[in-house]
Chain A
Amino acid sequence: MTRLQGMRHSRFWSNRNCRYGTIIVGLILLMAIIGPLFAPYDPTQQNLEQILQPPSLKHICGTDFYGRDLLSRLLHGSRISLGVSLSATFLTMLIGIVLGLLAGYFRGWLDKFLMRIVDILLGFPRLFIILLIVGISRSTLLMTIVVLAGFSWMEIARLVRAETRSILTTNYLMAAQALGLNHFRLIIAYILPNLRGMLLTSTNLLIASMLTIESSLSFLGLGVNEPNASWGTLLSQGRLDPTGAWWVALFAGIAIIITVVGFNLLGDGLNQIQSESRT
């Protein structure tokens, strides 16, 4: 068992995408966890004598419109950006897995009903609907997370359903059924573990897309409210003054891109490992 895990581990690490993805994601998470402790300034402290300072030794990423230190705001913003996208992803996965398992395992009318809902929701223009609900209800962070998840779980549910159905035809599952295990045991101990690889891949890709959507919302002024700021909010402040203060939008954008690249790499790599082991 340990030897098998060791092999798995090395295959994970020898995949270039996985390796770089893990390093980037690890660093980003570390930054979100302990970064704010090292923030050189108070992220909300305005200093009107030092507005719109370009990057320098004193302010590594420059200062914004109110003289707030951008590096500190970026470090603190990472918690909000990552917090929103991680929890939205978690909720999405939860809904998607539960409904996908229900549809795939029990079939029948429940399957038909759930898949019809999935079809309808997939026809929705996602960004616009999210924009609409978040914009019109002047929402809180929690609401944003719920809405993001509420319109993203369908693809996960579809994948889980398809995979569940194919697992149901395998011999080991039929053997388990013949043992007389109940539905719950079958799902938890026999089906879910086999979905693991696929779910890991989707989780990473989902986090990346959540981060992008969250930053779009914040960019439009519908996300996090002042004086708190996610990376998207910082980006949108860069738009206020496009004539000179390029650094305001630049660094927030780079932070977003690095994070999205990290999660995408990890997702792609996991996907490659999976398709390799299948063939």
Chain B
Amino acid sequence: MIKRLISRLIEFIVVLFIGVTIIFIIIHLAPGDPSLQFCSPTAPLEQRELLMHRFGLDQPLWKQYTIWLKNAVIQFDFGISFFSGKQVGKMVRQALSPTLLLTGLALLFGILAGVFLGIQAAIRQNKFFDRFVTTIMFAFYSMPSFWLGLILLQIFAVQLNWLPSSQLVSVFHEQFSCGARLWDYCRHLILPVSTLGLIFAASFYRYSRNAMLTALSSEYILAAQARGTPRNHLIYRYALGNSLLPLISLVGTSLPVLFSGALMIEVVFGLPGLGRLMTDAVLTRDYPVIVAAALLSFFAAIIGNLMADIIYLIVDPRLRHS
């Protein structure tokens, strides 16, 4: 089993390497010129060449690539942002915590609410509760996350003015006491977390309801029923135990969402997270930031898959013994 994990790990490193290389090539072969972000197209050619030289873009592609790779691997140095002049590594790290906070909370909410409602709906199949929740969840499932965000923003921030509409903290955040600061964070996070959480909940709901229905209609449940197993035991131990397994892989594959899934939500709510960093970098052609952000999201996808593998190993006794 360890062998399988190691071979997966090697595979992942290959994916990471190929992914970053492809990103690098795409970025640098794409038409357009980042120096045009800083001076008008009519600026003298020398000025643009100077900028290109400063960014290291006058070098041939393979040389830029090897330099980047060397710095990234050996010194963990991802270069300096063209646009803000800051260390890219630091920018990414700063953007990481709001994103992780947002997506972590939303994912938690989504899993808890989605799985709980999914089980409840499945054991009441075709009753009013099931129909009602399934319809609502289907609507959330079909909704673009950013639209839900806009609507909640409109209702709670603009019309009712209960909650702030953007940013992670208030302007006077620094002057608040400790408790007030925490409250400030909460107020700013309620809308984005519930938006994203509802969207997550919808897909977890669909999944767990289906898995639960499949489990409930299987023959071992019938057999257990015939033996006189109490209903609660039947549902929560027998059916749930078996339907949780595919759910784990769903959670694992949705872990990359921790990093990139909030992209649209961050843009809507103006949160200074990774998603917004990425979009801004793409729009301003900030090459080092794009590459670093891409690296991170590849990494996230890999970690997610790896964690799903490991959890599978822990949970499923059949895998452990084979």
Contacts and interface: CB of A to CB of B under 8 A. Distances in A.
Contact of B144 (A131, A133, A246, A253): A253
Question: How many B residues are at the interface, by size bracket?
Answer: 35 or more
A264 B302 CA distance: 29
Interface in A226-279: 235, 238-239, 242-243, 246, 249-250, 253, 256-257, 260-261, 264-265
Interface stretch (A2-10, A91-99, A184-192, A214-222): A214-222
Interface string B252-284: 000010011001100110000000001100110
B144 A216 contact: yes
A250 B144 contact: no
B282 A131 contact: yes
A125 B290 contact: no
Given A125-B301, A235-B150, A261 B142 contact: yes
Contact of B298 (A123, A242, A249): A123
A6 B275 CA distance: 51
B138 A257 contact: no
Nearest to B257: A125
A204 to B, nearest CB: 12
A132 to B, nearest CB: 6
Given A215-B144, A253-B144, A253-B147, A136 B139 contact: no
A138 B301 contact: no
A203 to B, nearest CB: 16
A23 interface: no
A128 B278 contact: yes
A261 B139 contact: yes
A220 B256 contact: no
Contact of B263 (A128, A137, A264): A128
B294 A128 contact: yes
B69 to A, nearest CB: 19
A125 B297 contact: yes
Contacts of A246: 154
Given A131-B282, A136-B282, A238-B150, A125 B142 contact: no
Contacts of A221: 283
A173 B150 CA distance: 53
Contacts of A138: 31-32
A127 interface: yes
Given A216-B264, A220-B267, A246-B154, A135 B282 contact: yes
A120 B18 contact: yes
Interface residues of A, number: 37
A271 to B, nearest CB: 10
A129 B15 CA distance: 14
B153 interface: yes
B278 A243 contact: no
Interface in B151-195: 151, 153-154, 158, 165
Interface in A165-221: 208, 212, 215-216, 219-221
Contacts of A243: 158
B138 A132 contact: no
A242 B285 CA distance: 28
B319 interface: no
B279 A131 contact: yes
B285 to A, nearest CB: 7
A131 B293 CA distance: 13
A169 to B, nearest CB: 23
A264 B144 CA distance: 13
A119 interface: yes
Interface of B: 11-12, 14-15, 18-19, 23, 26-27, 30-32, 138-139, 141-144, 146-147, 150-151, 153-154, 158, 165, 256, 259-260, 263-264, 267-268, 278-279, 282-283, 285, 290, 293-294, 297-298, 300-302, 305
List of 3 A-B pairs having minimum Cβ-Cβ separation, nearest first: A135-B282, A253-B147, A125-B297
Given A123-B302, A260-B144, 16 more contacts: A123-B298, A127-B260, A128-B278, A128-B294, A128-B297, A131-B279, A132-B27, A133-B26, A133-B30, A136-B26, A137-B31, A208-B142, A242-B154, A257-B139, A257-B144, A264-B142
